[in-house]
Structure 1
Amino acid sequence: MSNVVVFGAGGTAGSRITAEAFDRGHRVIAAVRRPEATSYLPAGVRVVTGDVTSARSVRELAPDADVMVVAVGGGDRALWRDAAQNLTTVLRDVPAAPRIIHVGGGSTLLTPKGTPVLDEPDFPAEYRESALGQADALAWYRTCADGVTWTYLSPPPLEFHPGERTGHYRTGTEEPVTDAQGRSVLTYEDLAVAVVDEIENPRFENMRFTAAY
C-alpha cells in the first residue's frame, strides 16, 4: 500500500486516478483548489486544499506521500511547466522524497516522421497552448529533474475519452501505441489503471511512457 497525493483530483483524469488508487487499497489524499466541490470522490479519501504550483502546498503534503500524481488541466501554457518546476525544486530538499507521476499530453508523442504531433499542420489551434505547456513540462523533467524520480505518462493524442474500465492496455515510449487499424485509443478509466499499475510496479522511472489498447 502506498500513500498517494493526487493534484487535480477533482478533474476528469484526477478523479478516476483517485478512485482507482483508493479502490486498490492505497491511502489517497485528493489535493484540489475547491474541496467543497468533490463530494463525488470515494468516502475515505482525504480531501485537502492544494496547489501543485505552490511550494508551500508541496512541502506540506510531501511527508505524507510515497507518490505525487499531477493530473491538473487548464488552458494556461505556464501551468504544467510551473507544476514540474515547483515539484522538482521542492522535492530535491525533501528526505525520502516521493516519486512524481505526471499525466501529460499525448500531443508530445512523435509521428513516424519523428516530430511531435503538436507540430502537425492540422493540429487544432485551440489546444496548441496547452500542448506546448505539456511539452515544456516534459522538457523540464528530462533536463532539470536531477535528484528526484519522475514518470511522465502521455495518453493517445486524439482518441482519449471517458468510457469503460477494461483493466487492459499496451505501453510504448515515444510514439503512440496503435491497434491493427492504426488507431491509438484509451479511456480515462484505463489511464487511471495505467497510473496505479505504475505506482505499484514501477517500470518507467525517469522517462516518458504512453498507453493505449
Structure 2
Amino acid sequence: MVNIVVFGAGGTAGSRIVREAFDRGHRVVAAVRRPEADAPYLPAGVRVVTGDATSVRSVRELAPEADALVVAIGGGDRTLWPDAARTVLDALRGMPAAPRVIHVGGGATLLDPAGTPLLEDPDFPAEYRDAALGQAEALDVYRSSADGVTWTYVCPPPLEFHPGERTGRYRTGTDQPVTDAAGRSVLSYEDLAVAVVDEIENSRFRNMRFTAAY
C-alpha cells in the first residue's frame, strides 16, 4: 500500500486518480479547495482535506504523510501550473524522506517530429494556448530543479483526451505523442489515471516526462 496525496482531487483528472488509487487499496488523501463541495463525489473512505498546491504551508502539512504527491490541478490562468511546481519543490526541499511528485501536465508540451512543441503549431487551438504555455513552464521548472526531489511529469494526448471508459490498456512514450495506426493520439481520463497509479507503483519515469495513449 502506498500513501498518496492528490492535489486537485475534485477535478476531472484528480477525481479519477483518487478513485483508481483507492480501488487498488492505496491510502489516499484528497486535497481540494472546497471539501464541502467535493467530498460527496469522492469515494467513501478517502480522507478529504483542504489543500492548495500553490501554498507552501499546505504542501508541507500534507507531505509528511505521503509517499507520492500528485499535482492534478486546473482552472486557473497560465501562472497556476508553474507556481504549483515551484511551490511543491520549495516545500519539499530538504525534507527527510520527501514524497515523489507526480505532475499531471499538458499534452501540448509534447514535440512534433521536428522537435517543436505542439503548442507552437499555428493550428493549435487558441483557447488552449495559455494553459499549454503554463504547463510548458511548469515542465521547465521541474527540469531545472536540482534539489533532490524526485518528480515525474505525465502528459495526456495533446487534444483527444476526454472522460470515457477505463480499459486498463495504454502505451507510453516520452517526448512525442503516442499514436495509433491512423496517426491519432487518444486516451480517456480513466486510463490516464491507470497510467498515473501504475507509475506510482512501478516508478519507470523518474525525473522525466512520459506520455500515454492507446
TM-score range, shorter chain: over 0.9
**Matched-pair contact (CA < 8 Å) for 1:62–1:94:** no
- The verdict on how the C-alpha distance between 1:53 and 1:145 changes in structure 2, with shifts beyond 3 A counting, is farther
Residue 30 (1) aligns with residue 30 (2): yes
Using a 3 Å threshold, how does the CA distance of structure 1 residues 125 and 75 change in structure 2: closer, same or farther? farther
| Structure 1 partner of 2:190 | 189
Q: Which residue matches 2:75?
A: 74
> Separation in 2 of the partners of 1:145 and 1:46?
32
1:113 Cα deviation (Å)?
Answer: 1.7
CA contact (8 A) 1:67 1:101 kept: yes
1:145 shift after superposition: 4.4
Rounded Cα–Cα distance in structure 2 between residues aligned with 1:146 and 1:95: 12
How far did 1:93 drift?
A: 2.1
Deviations 1:43-82 (A, max 9, x none): 0000000000000000000111000000001241110001
- How far the C-alpha of 1:146 sits from its partner, in A, is 2.7
Residue type of the alignment partner of 1:32 = V
Question: Gapped runs of 5+ residues in structure 2?
Answer: none
Conservation of the 8 A alpha-carbon contact between 1:74 and 1:130 = no
Normalised to the residue count of structure 1, the TM-score between the two structures is 0.99
Correspondence for 2:169: 168
Q: Where do 4+ consecutive residues of structure 1 move more than 4 Å?
A: none
Distance (Å, rounded) in 2 between the aligned partners of 1:205 and 1:57: 24
For residues 44 and 35 of structure 2, what CA distance do their matches in structure 1 show? 13
- Structure 1 distance, partners of 2:199, 2:7, is 17
Letter in 1 for 2:26: H
CA RMSD of aligned residues (A): 0.7
Letter of the structure 2 residue corresponding to residue 165 of structure 1: R
Give the Cα–Cα distance (whole angstroms) in 2 for the partners of residues 89 and 70 of structure 1.
Answer: 14
CA distance in 2: counterparts of 1:205 and 1:145, whole angstroms: 13
Residue equivalent to 2:14:
14
What CA distance in whole angstroms lies between the structure 2 residues aligned with 1:129 and 1:210?
A: 20
Q: Which amino acid aligns with 1:27?
A: R
Question: What's the counterpart of residue 109 of structure 1?
Answer: 110
1:3 aligned partner: 3
The alpha carbon displacement at 1:106 in A equals: 0.1
Letter in structure 2 aligned against 1:73: G
Alpha-carbon separation, structure 1, partners of 2:75 and 2:118:
19
CA distance in 1, matches of 2:146, 2:49: 26
**Residues 20/171 of structure 1: CA separation in 2 closer, same or farther (3 Å cut):** same
Q: Give the letter for the 1:80 counterpart.
A: W
| 1:85-109 C-alpha deviation (Å, 9 max, x unpaired) | 0111110121100000000000000
Shift of 1:27: 0.3
Moved more, 44-53 or 125-134: 125-134
Q: Which runs of 5+ in 1 are unaligned?
A: none
Q: Is the 8 A contact 1:108 1:131 kept in 2?
A: yes
1:6-43 C-alpha deviation (Å, 9 max, x unpaired): 00000000000000000000000000000011201100
How far apart are residue 206 of structure 1 and its match? 0.2
Give the AA of the match of 2:83.
D
Alignment of 1:1-213 (within 5 A): 1-38=1-38, 39-213=40-214
Contact kept in structure 2, 1:75 and 1:129, CA below 8 Å: no
Distance verdict in 2 for CA 1:145–1:21, change over 3 Å: farther
Inter-partner Cα distance in structure 2 for 1:145 and 1:183: 35
The 1-side partners of 2:57 and 2:76 are apart by 23
